[in-house]
Each structure stands twice: as C-alpha cells, then as structure tokens.
Amino acid sequence: LVSSWYNDQSLPESYIFPPHERPGKLLVPRCNTVPVIDLSDTRTNLVHQILKASQEFGLFQVVNHGVPPNIMSETMSVFHKFFELPAEDKASLTVYTNDPKRCKLVTSTLDYDREKIHLWRDVLRHPCHPDCIEFWPRKPLRYREVVAACSIEAKKLGLQILELLCEGIGIEHGYFEHELTEDLLLGANHYPPCPDPSLTLGIPKHFDPDILTILLQEHISGLQVLKDGEWIGVRPIPNAFVVNIGYILQVISNNKLKGAEHRVVTNSSDHRISVVFCMNPAGNSNIEPAKSVVTATNPPLCRGFQFKEFMDNFYSMEGDADLALQPFK
C-alpha cells in the first residue's frame, strides 16, 4: 500500500506520468463551475436542471438530498479508521482473490503488476449486496452497520436521480429500477499526501463504466471533471454528494446524456478519502440504447450487448471505455 511508505520517499519513477497526462496547472478556473442542484426544489425544476447538468457536464452535486448528515459523517469516519488500521488488520483483505463477492484492498489498480505507471492511491472495493456483508471488514467495529446504512441511502438517491433523468429524456418510468442497477459496488479511495502532485495522479482521466456514481468526499479537493477540453475542480461542499453519469448510461441514453470524464489529482499536505457507490447492471443484463430515445434521425449508436461482455473489453482495453464499446458499434 502506498499509505505505508509515502512518508519516507520522494516520488518513485514508476509514479511519474508522461508530460501530456500530468495535472498541469493545479489552479482551477473560476467560471464554469460544476452545477449544484437543490433536491428540495420542485419536480419540474429538478427535471430541467438535472437534465441540463447531465448534458453539459455529466457531473453535478446534490444538496438537500434527504440523506441524514450523521450517516454521511459516520461513513467518512469509518473509512478514516479503516485506512488507519495497522497493516496486520488489513492483511487478509490484500490477498489476491478472484471471487467477485469478496473485498479487495489494493494499491493503484488490480493490474499493478502489469501497469506501466502506478496511481497514487489505495482502494478498498466490495459489492454492497446484503449477501456479501459477511465478507466486509470486521474492523473498525461499526464498519458493517454504518456502510450498510449509507449504501441503502446512496442507492435510493441514485434511483431518485435516474427517475428524474428518465422523465427528462423520455425513457419510461422505472427503466433502471431492477437489473440495470442490481449491483451496487463500493470503492473507498485513500490518497495519501504526495511528494510531487505535479507529476502524478490519484486516478488518470476515465469514465466510470457504470450507470451512475454517487460520491462522498470531505473538505479536501482533488476531483476534477473535463469540460470543453478544460479540467474543472469539483469544489467540496459540506454534506453534498457528487453524482456522475456513467458510460453505460450515456450508451442507454443514445448519447443524449454525457458520461463524465474525470480524474483525481493529489496534494502534498493532506490525506484525502473519497467513497464511491457505483450503480452497476447485473453482469447478464442487456445494454442497448433505450427504444424510446432512438428515432430515425437519432439512430442507435451501437447494438445490444451484455454488461459483462463490455466489462471484459473494458479490462482488456486497460480501462478505455470508448475502445471497450467499439466491438458493439
């Protein structure tokens, strides 16, 4: 784990990105700020605002979303405690396993041994389905209780946003309610302070290969979204969730919604922790542009495919979603 040695090293060569991928200017443009949506607004306004944000940015923040603030703060606190646990408590989670139900704690990515450049982060991943709770960490003591409560809220919030989006683009009510959001996956990222944030990244530019991602962060910046060729910082707002449109939702919307390309920059002074809840289709569910958004003038951008076929391509294409979709075009 990078968290076990970051403190006594300068940045190793294997963490240095090629010049065109480096963070560049770490200052964030003032104009062009990421939309913040107040979920207590009227439904008509919400449909309009969420649709606009999802078409222009693919990423927005939500406030007044109804998730109790104590669930959010306890979740962050549980992950701080988790990442501070002594190595021996985390050792069983870092063992390689193929079992999709199990927790995986890795540094950089699952592909560490083959990747050319490593990412400045550690990440804990696991499914949130109740059947998998027996594999979740036992420590800290309240992990299971707190994370289960938060994942239920995250899914509820995600489905609410998807309903608003369906109304906005004209997909039938309930389209995403079952198979297409069956697998909720958690990823907890830990980015330790970095000796040279200008040369490396916590996560390079990517689309999330899912339907929707609901992200919880604290007061430390790091997340950026690409908008019209420019990187924009996502300003941390207390008690807000960041929501981004996943690549698969872009496909289902037949490009009416825009998947967000985003990345994470590091900083030299603070630990940053973020928790993402990824709403994923079941592996065998059929993904295709929704019939209701396909017209003679807006033909389907691809044929139907199984979500797991896409994910196999996604992994073999080293996380490049556009290349992963290519065989279905």
**Minimum distance from CB of 296 to ligand OGA (Å)?**
36
Binding of ligand OGA by 222 (CB under 6 A): yes
DSSP 108-171: S-TTTTT-SS--S-EEEEEE-SGGGGGGS---STTHHHHHHHHHHHHHHHHHHHHHHHHHHHTP
Peptide bond before residue 236 is cis, with ω within 30 degrees of 0: no
What the block records as the tokens of 114 is 């083959």
Among 232, 264, 321, 325, binds ligand OGA (CB under 6 A): 264
Q: Using the rule CB under 6 A, which residue among 75, 258, 262, 314 binds ligand OGA?
A: 262
The answer to whether residue 90 forms part of the interface with ligand OGA (CB under 6 A) is no
Please report whether residue 208 would count as binding Ni ion according to CB under 5 A.
Answer: yes
In the bound complex, what is the minimum distance in angstroms from residue 89's beta carbon to ligand OGA? 23
313 binds, among ligand OGA, Ni ion, none (CB under 5 to 8 A by kind): none
Token representation of residue 276 = 């993402």
Does 218 sit near Ni ion (CB under 5 A)? no
* Least separation in angstroms between CB 265 and ligand OGA: 10
Q: Of 2-10, 126-134, 217-225, 306-314, which part binds ligand OGA (CB under 6 A)?
A: 217-225
# of chain residues touching ligand OGA (CB under 6 A):
12
**Least separation, in Å, of the C-beta of 173 and ligand OGA?**
29
Minimum Å gap between C-beta 189 and ligand OGA is: 4
For Ni ion (CB under 5 A), the number of binding residues is: 1
3: helix, coil or strand? helix
Which of Ni ion, ligand OGA, none sits in contact with 187, Cβ below 5 to 8 A by type? ligand OGA
User: What's the rounded Cα separation, in Å, for the pair 321 and 246?
Assistant: 10
Task: Say which amino acid occupies 127.
Answer: P
- The torsion angle over the Cα atoms of residues 210, 74, 137 and 104, rounded to 10 degrees, is 30
For 31-103, strand residue ranges (E) read 36-38, 59-63
